[in-house]
Amino acid sequence: MTTDPEVADELVATIRDWIRKDVIPTASEFEHADRYPEAWVAQMRAFGLFGARIDPEFGGLGLDTVTYARLMDELAYGWMSLSGVINTHTIAATLISKFGTDAQRERLLPILAEGDRRAAFSLSEPDAGSDTQAIRCRAARDGDEYVLNGTKMWVTNGERASIVALAAKTDEGITCFIVEKEPGPTSGGITVSKNIDKLGYKGIETVEMTYVDHRVPVSAVLGGPDGLGHGLHYVLGSLELGRINVAARAVGVARAAYDAAMHYAHERETFGVPIIKHQAIQFKLAEMATKIEASRLLVKSAAEKFDSGERTDVEAGMAKLFCSETALEVSIEAMRIHGGYGYTKEFPVERYLRDAPLMIIGEGTNEIQRIVIARGLVARWAEEHA
């Protein structure tokens, strides 16, 4: 998918204007109250963002990954949680688009593109995060159904979702199921067993979900019979897009922190002059701006390669690693430029500082990213020098 540059610029500008007009003025109020932004999610639905990556054939916008990443950057600039609402939904839609049967695509993608029914992505478990082979959630065949049992952790959108892309073990290996449910704390054998209170990333639910003898039809297997045992391959491929999303939202948070620091540095005076005149502050801002620009370019590079259809594990990993570390570093520096005020809820930098760590651990920890990058580089070097 390639998006017309004028269309892309117009859409990004529309989202940017909305974020600045409607979101930023009250984002901290919502965040501190840990309140779900119903009206803003409805507006994102009206913009078509839940169908951003879904082909127009199924009612989506069909945006390329570069444009999608720019939109996630703008959402995170206003409030990082908004881009999280879109992320797991888009991962699930991507799984169905790339690996679903014709029947699964034709039935589910229009629903996801419309955005009224949203999706969650469920891989991690209490004892299985980065070690995806360790998952214990089990799907046992029983005639024309599978019976699901197990507990999933860190499920974003879990309670409000109507569709869950779920990884579970079958006799053939790890398989991905497209589980349909009713929104709410319980649905059949699915229970939201715990809402997880977090340091940041508030306003959007992150939950533990328990499956007890929950039944799904055989048709829920992603990709049909050919998908049995191939779920981990499907999931890891789609996580490349998730990591580009995380990298893009890290850029948004870093930009917001930088702009807050720049604005404050022009207003705050010490020793008779605005602190922007002090070389120590100028050096901080120069470092921040340079790393933000490098981050933006890494996201663009990874998105372009993802759009080309090539394997993007290295590029997505690099972008996620560098951008998330940059977001944390820039947020800390922005707080330091604010001095004592940066440690209060009066200014938004404390929110950026609490949100930034999510990108370091989300979609695979940065320690795992380093392993993924290194293995990919070694494999590519071997191919090039064979």
Cβ contact 312:66 at 8 Å: no
- The C-alpha atoms of residue 91 and residue 99 are separated, in whole angstroms, by 12
Name residues whose C-beta falls within 8 Å of residue 323's C-beta, 6 or more positions apart in sequence. Answer: 246, 247, 248, 250, 251, 254, 295, 298, 299, 359
Nearest to 171 by CA among 148, 123, 138: 138
- Tell me, what amino acid is at 120? A
- Residue 363: active-site member: yes
What is each CA distance from 386 to 3, 380, 383, in whole angstroms? 37, 10, 5
Nearest to 107 by CA among 117, 214, 145: 117
Nearest to 123 by CA among 39, 204, 238: 238
- The C-alpha atoms of residue 30 and residue 253 are separated, in whole angstroms, by 17
For 158-196, b/e burial (b = at least 16 CB within 10 A) is bbbbbbbbbbbbbeeebbbbbbbbeeeeebbbbbbbeee
Instruction: Give the active site residue among 31, 159, 180, 363.
Output: 363
Nearest to 329 by CA among 371, 295, 378: 295
Position of tokens 């695509």? 105
Position of tokens 């998908």? 227
Residues taking part in catalysis: 363
